[in-house]
Structure 1
Amino acid sequence: MKKLHILLFFIFFLNTMVWCRQKPAIDVIPYPSSVTLMNGTFIISSGTALNVPQDLVGEADFLNELIKNAIGSKLQLSRRNNNVIKLIKNKSLKSEEYRLNVSKNLIILSGGSSAGVFRGIQTLRQLFSEKAEIPGHLLPSLSLRCLNIEDLPSFEYRGLHLDVSRHFFSVDFLKKYVDMLALYKFNKLHLHLTDDQGWRIEIKKYPKLTENGAWRTLNNQDSACIAKAADNPDMALDSRFLRKKDGQQQYGGYYTQKQMIDFVKYATTRHIEIIPEIDMPGHMMAAIKSYPFLSCTGDSHWGKLFTTPICPCKESTYEFAQNVFKEIFAIFPSKYIHIGGDEVDRTSWETSGVCNELMRKEGIKTSAGLQSYFINRMEKFFNANGKKLIGWDEILEEGISSTAMVMYWRTWVPEAPLKALKNGNRVIMTPGEPLYFDYPPNKNSLYNVYNFSVIPKGYPDKDRGNIVGAQANLWSEMIPSEKRAEYMAFPRAIALAENLWSHEHRNFKSFSKRLLTQYARLDVLGVNYRLPDLENVITDRVFINQDTLFYKNPINNMVLRYTDNESRPSAKSLSLDKPLIIKENKLIKLGVFSKTDTNLRELYVLNFKKQTIMNSVSKPNVSSGLLGSYYKKLPLRSDGADLTKPDSLFYTDMISVPPSINSPAFRIDYTGIIDVPEAGIYTFYLDCDDSGILSIGDNVVVDNGGMHSAIEKNGQVALEKGMHPFKLVFLEGGGGYKLKLLYSFKNSEPAELPQLWLKH
């Protein structure tokens, strides 16, 4: 009997250890590679010591500041081995790899380098209560569960991007942004410092770049932001960056070299590499307006899509570019420098005599070849100065050396990464969908970012290692304030952080639960994050007798307030703290507020409609699948009446765009019958880029029309069992598309329409 008890205890112990490895109770993001929980706790108090070697003093100082903020005093340095936190470099580990062992009397944090130790400190930090982050709120001690963690990143390049040209951000905000990157184990910040709308970095040899080029009269993007500010204060232009000159209001600002050197040093102590981008040969209007000799025509203006670029055919252009980059090299120690190279309107080159002469001399056949000539020549200059060039994927056109790094962004050019890999280039993935964080977030954004495949399926094994990681971009045309920037970046950036660090062992359900615990820390850190989505919000709701409106708050820092008179909810509107019964047609505007301010953070417009069940129709001799009518161009009229004859027809048993369709802009009508097996209210979810409108019978069920990035909208319809006319009109305006239609019935999980339901 005793042996049986011992055996049962041993089995229980093994099962407990397995459970700890699979479902450890730590709320850390990114989630570590391996976690083993153990019994006991380690208490950090004023009597605890720090044991660190000389080459980890900077990391120890960072940890000590966290502890001082929590308990009111720093830990003393000591060589003892009891009641101590020990930081160690372990050269057998990879650079950013770390091991964290917490026992009752000792914490040992070892890393493959100082960066690895610092990443481990961020895990330790998240194991502290968020109350440890509150300034002036002293705790008697910090308690840590005993555990073992072994951890390392999946990708070497884990980045965020910030456009400071379209709208400007203070140095203090840049530091706060870096702090957030460090907390979630990013290691790169790509700063987009120049563009048509403003030059943001001091260049001493060319002072007009900031005297003139850093300022502009208000443009159409500023006006759009001002209009939106009437409903959302975060859309207002930052008054610190407005000035009056010659009777005109101007917007602008720039960083001095001293400020930027200080910022780079700040980021370096947090092991964040700052990669500057000076975008050329396109996106240079601010520079050309200051120094007109830079273009082939002596000026710069907007063309059909982009502005006049600098002239790659004049030696004075290269003298300017090299002088600028020499100063950039001195400010930024990063081995990578971004040259842009995207969205170039080459019209002025094609009509330039000096360019025609250069093309004859160098055997260049096209204006695209001129761009390749410029990029390759600049890369040689970079390399001669110990730097490596990064460019957007357009630099692949007409050839680039294998030593340049390519940043893939154009989702409508899916062959670009493979082309770069075949050329021997290393690739950073940053596709517009889902990694352009200036695209408005929705309830699917976190899932899409979290489950984004950094290495696309089917890529050859021999090339996969040259995809070094990914980056999310925050373009600021419609981001005029620091609060708006934080709202757009977080929590999507947190989802990306775990994707890139913990790629091989991702679990979105686990991440979602851990994310809920992170919001309290973000509150303490003063981050204006997007509040969590309410679950299963149906915007066009149908009921037969009555409906009920009520949602449970995902986190404590949320209040729901509503109006039923078409006015916008305010902090004084009625609170949705109990179920609201709906018995008649009604429009409800449901506002999401944070308890920390009175601003409306999120607005749901809910249209309740009382409806009788739609009668089914009789259709003899139906066949499986819907009829697809494909038009190679978009209609000129809003009703599409000018598209009288489709270019081709096809039959399909699923809602998807056939792979044979390669027109940049097109329309597809999916028509036929939907045959539902049971009477009741059906919910449909239409996620599309660009426009999609779903109709069943005479009812428009989901209107997701207009040219926009991927957005999901939903709606309901009450259907009798049987067949009903079905039509889905999808329009793609160019730049990559998405089309996905799901349904739900009786609160089931959204799923694709069964093939048996689709007929014609």
Structure 2
Amino acid sequence: MRRTHSTTPRTTRVLGSLLLVAAAGVFTLGAAPAAPAARTAAPTPLDQVIPAPASVTHGGTPYRLTRATGVRVDDSAEVRRIGAYLAGILRPSTGYPLALTDHGTGGIRLHLAPGDFGAEGYRLHSDAGGVTITASAPAGLFHGVQTLRQLLPPAVEKKTAQPGPWQIAGGTVQDRPRYSYRGAMLDVSRHFLTVDQVKRYIDQLALYKLNELHLHLSDDQGWRIAIDSWPRLAAYGGSTEVGGGPGGYYTKAQYQEIVRYAASRYLEVVPEIDMPGHTNAALASYAELNCDGTAPPLYTGTKVGFSSLCVPKQVTYDFADDVIRELAALTPGRYLHIGGDEAHSTSHADYVAFMDRVQPIVAKYGKTVIGWHQLTGAHPVPGALAQYWGLDSTSAAEKDQVAKAARNGTGLILSPADRIYLDMKYTKDTRLGLDWAGLVEVRRSYDWNPGDYLPGAPASAVRGVEAPMWSETLKESADIEYMAFPRLPGAAELGWSPAATHDWDTYKVRLAAQAPRWDALGITYYRSPQVPWPTN
């Protein structure tokens, strides 16, 4: 499911932005030199954001932010926090105070109200008097704020004062997601990533309305989460990584910091402990987990499929119970991922026996099982989700197995490796990444429909999409970003936008317009020749 190689660009991130030279928001002549007016660009049309909104009505006078603009919020701690987040993005670049208030008129209003928004939808209305984002739940307000960011000039993301002006086109956006599960995965096992690196990626996911962060916390090369009942898993099993680096692991407090930060961006953390294969770090840490009672050495290579927990031993299930119990207690989200891929050293009978015993443990601690799609070769429990990572060319028999499970009630998360694995090379000359699933340029990663991708699987079984990022070749945030951008926004659009909006020719124009925003945020990205990037 993944394989080998290298290094690349560096980068930083930011949330900040700009200063408007004129003190008043109403356009007048003579009050200031004419130069700023001459360089005023038309505001971004409401439908030129990513993901594409469900519905847009154009019209009306744009709203212009001024020094008098405030952020009006409901008398609610959570709405106030979202308002503070928005003001924190806008203040550095505009230079405006953007006071938070729960009274008055005009400005930017964040408002909770009943309506046909669902759990994450929102309405954004803009006219000369102000901008109002309305939702029935805080997540919807937060997603509306991301749309508002993209409607402002890219320089709004900078941390220093910029010249503006800051206009938001007039009209109305009515928006809600196509799928409830819109995820991205970070492999912190092959190369360990710090808490700050994970937070940086979370902010990038939030900009495009993703709502699930899947953390691959264990593999052959490293165990990355402290487990009190099995302390050597992290202390010893986490002491290295691909290539023999120092590795690392998250203390429970650090993991909870990631979980809290993700929640503040309305992302749910999905922790994964990959079993029964991909377990060499655990096997090296505790000899009793091996059938022969002998611990193998730590592993720093990139081969897969050679390790397996000892399925017949009771200690294996004591281990699984302890790890799942402790991890579930740290994770407020709904899901716990138990892996299940590439268990080539586990017989089919043992694999089925293992999954039959471990899935109920997940339920015992209040979580819903997710497994890689090989789980469908066992007996997925009711409510389980299978994450499909096959290729267009995967055998019909394997696809049929997954589709049959879907027809029987197993939900699907679609992550086809030759479409949406973000660690696949763009071209043969890409300095980072792998190519075992093929070369995946930007159009290929975007141009498919999750609703009808898997033959025989009912569209109703598809819970959403996830874009995994395996880290065999990735060490720095700049490496991750170079592989994620510009493909990640396409994955987000596949998960959020109605199928009717899906069109490469219009999407590539919207995608190109994101480049100045990435520049302002310090995001490193691949300038695909398939995208008409701005020339200045």
Structure with the higher fraction of residues in helix conformation: 2
For residues 84 and 305 of structure 1, the distance between their equivalents in structure 2, rounded to whole angstroms, comes to 55
Contact preservation (8 Å) 1:51, 1:84: yes
For residues 480 and 303 of structure 2, the distance between their equivalents in structure 1, rounded to whole angstroms, comes to 29
1:438 alignment partner in structure 2: 423
Contact preservation (8 Å) 1:277, 1:340: yes
Q: Which amino acid aligns with 2:426?
A: P
Stretches of structure 1 lacking an aligned partner (at least 5 in a row): 1-22, 223-248, 348-366, 536-552, 558-760
For residues 333 and 201 of structure 1, the distance between their equivalents in structure 2, rounded to whole angstroms, comes to 16
Structure 1, residues 503-542: CA drift from partner, whole Å, max 9, x if none?
411121111111111111101111111123178xxxxxxx
The structure whose RCO (Cα within 8 Å, separation 6+) is larger is 2
Decide whether aligned partners of structure 1 residues 42 and 414 sit closer, same or farther in structure 2, where only a CA change above 3 A counts: same
1:98 alignment partner in structure 2: 122
Deviation at 1:37, TM superposition (A): 1.9
Q: Which amino acid aligns with 2:484?
A: A
Decide whether aligned partners of structure 1 residues 51 and 473 sit closer, same or farther in structure 2, where only a CA change above 3 A counts: same
Structure 1, residues 527-558: CA drift from partner, whole Å, max 9, x if none?
111123178xxxxxxxxxxxxxxxxx84336x
Decide whether aligned partners of structure 1 residues 139 and 182 sit closer, same or farther in structure 2, where only a CA change above 3 A counts: same
Q: Which amino acid aligns with 1:208?
A: R
2:535 alignment partner in structure 1: 556
State the SS of the aligned residue for 2:451.
Answer: coil
State the SS of the aligned residue for 2:142.
Answer: helix
Query: Is it true that 1:211 corresponds to 2:235 in the alignment?
Result: yes
Q: Which amino acid aligns with 2:188?
A: V
For residues 172 and 479 of structure 1, the distance between their equivalents in structure 2, rounded to whole angstroms, comes to 16
Deviation at 1:205, TM superposition (A): 2.1
2:109 alignment partner in structure 1: 86
Deviation at 1:42, TM superposition (A): 1.3
Query: Is it true that 1:400 corresponds to 2:396 in the alignment?
Result: no
For residues 140 and 528 of structure 1, the distance between their equivalents in structure 2, rounded to whole angstroms, comes to 24
State the SS of the aligned residue for 1:327.
Answer: helix
Query: Is it true that 1:423 corresponds to 2:447 in the alignment?
Result: no
Contact preservation (8 Å) 2:419, 2:440: no
2:62 to 11, 29, 41: 41
Decide whether aligned partners of structure 1 residues 373 and 71 sit closer, same or farther in structure 2, where only a CA change above 3 A counts: same
For residues 426 and 498 of structure 2, the distance between their equivalents in structure 1, rounded to whole angstroms, comes to 22
Query: 1:334-345 alignment to 2 at 5 Å?
Result: 334-345=333-344
Structure with the higher fraction of residues in strand conformation: 1
1:391 alignment partner in structure 2: 371
1:68 alignment partner in structure 2: 91
Deviation at 1:79, TM superposition (A): 4.4
The count of corresponding residues between Structure 1 and Structure 2 is: 469
Decide whether aligned partners of structure 1 residues 483 and 76 sit closer, same or farther in structure 2, where only a CA change above 3 A counts: closer
1:452 alignment partner in structure 2: 448
2:505 alignment partner in structure 1: 509
- Greater gyration radius: 1
Deviation at 1:123, TM superposition (A): 0.2
Q: Which amino acid aligns with 1:452?
A: W
Contact preservation (8 Å) 2:90, 2:157: no
Q: Which amino acid aligns with 2:284?
A: K
State the SS of the aligned residue for 1:420.
Answer: helix
For residues 482 and 395 of structure 1, the distance between their equivalents in structure 2, rounded to whole angstroms, comes to 32
TM-score norm. by structure 2 comes to 0.82
2:349 to 363, 369, 375: 369
2:251 to 225, 244, 256: 256
For residues 483 and 293 of structure 2, the distance between their equivalents in structure 1, rounded to whole angstroms, comes to 38
2:34 alignment partner in structure 1: none
Q: Which amino acid aligns with 1:437?
A: L
**Superposition RMSD on alpha carbons, in Å?**
2.4
For residues 475 and 173 of structure 1, the distance between their equivalents in structure 2, rounded to whole angstroms, comes to 15
Query: 1:571-720 alignment to 2 at 5 Å?
Result: none
State the SS of the aligned residue for 2:260.
Answer: helix
Structure 1, residues 207-253: CA drift from partner, whole Å, max 9, x if none?
2112211123x76xx3xxxxxxxxxxxxxxxxxxxxxxxxxx64311
Structure 1, residues 552-594: CA drift from partner, whole Å, max 9, x if none?
x84336xxxxxxxxxxxxxxxxxxxxxxxxxxxxxxxxxxxxx
For residues 450 and 140 of structure 1, the distance between their equivalents in structure 2, rounded to whole angstroms, comes to 33
Contact preservation (8 Å) 1:45, 1:140: no
1:180 to 204, 210, 213: 204
Query: 1:31-430 alignment to 2 at 5 Å?
Result: 31-53=52-74, 54=76, 55-92=78-115, 93-139=117-163, 142-216=166-240, 222=243, 250-299=245-294, 306-346=305-345, 367-411=347-391, 412=394, 413-430=398-415
1:538 alignment partner in structure 2: none
For residues 137 and 119 of structure 1, the distance between their equivalents in structure 2, rounded to whole angstroms, comes to 25
State the SS of the aligned residue for 1:189.
Answer: strand
2:516 alignment partner in structure 1: 520
For residues 358 and 66 of structure 2, the distance between their equivalents in structure 1, rounded to whole angstroms, comes to 55
Structure 1, residues 605-626: CA drift from partner, whole Å, max 9, x if none?
xxxxxxxxxxxxxxxxxxxxxx
Structure 1, residues 296-328: CA drift from partner, whole Å, max 9, x if none?
122366999622311122221111111112221
State the SS of the aligned residue for 2:483.
Answer: helix
TM-score norm. by structure 1 comes to 0.59
Contact preservation (8 Å) 1:214, 1:253: yes
Contact preservation (8 Å) 2:218, 2:279: yes
State the SS of the aligned residue for 1:132.
Answer: helix
For residues 376 and 422 of structure 2, the distance between their equivalents in structure 1, rounded to whole angstroms, comes to 25
Contact preservation (8 Å) 1:24, 1:36: no
Decide whether aligned partners of structure 1 residues 305 and 132 sit closer, same or farther in structure 2, where only a CA change above 3 A counts: closer
What's the % identity of the aligned pairs?
34
Q: Which amino acid aligns with 1:34?
A: S
2:16 alignment partner in structure 1: none
Structure 1, residues 30-52: CA drift from partner, whole Å, max 9, x if none?
11111122231212223122322
Stretches of structure 2 lacking an aligned partner (at least 5 in a row): 1-43, 428-438
Name the stretch that deviates more: 122-131 or 482-491: 482-491
Deviation at 1:454, TM superposition (A): 0.6
Deviation at 1:121, TM superposition (A): 0.4
For residues 227 and 414 of structure 2, the distance between their equivalents in structure 1, rounded to whole angstroms, comes to 30
Contact preservation (8 Å) 1:427, 1:467: yes
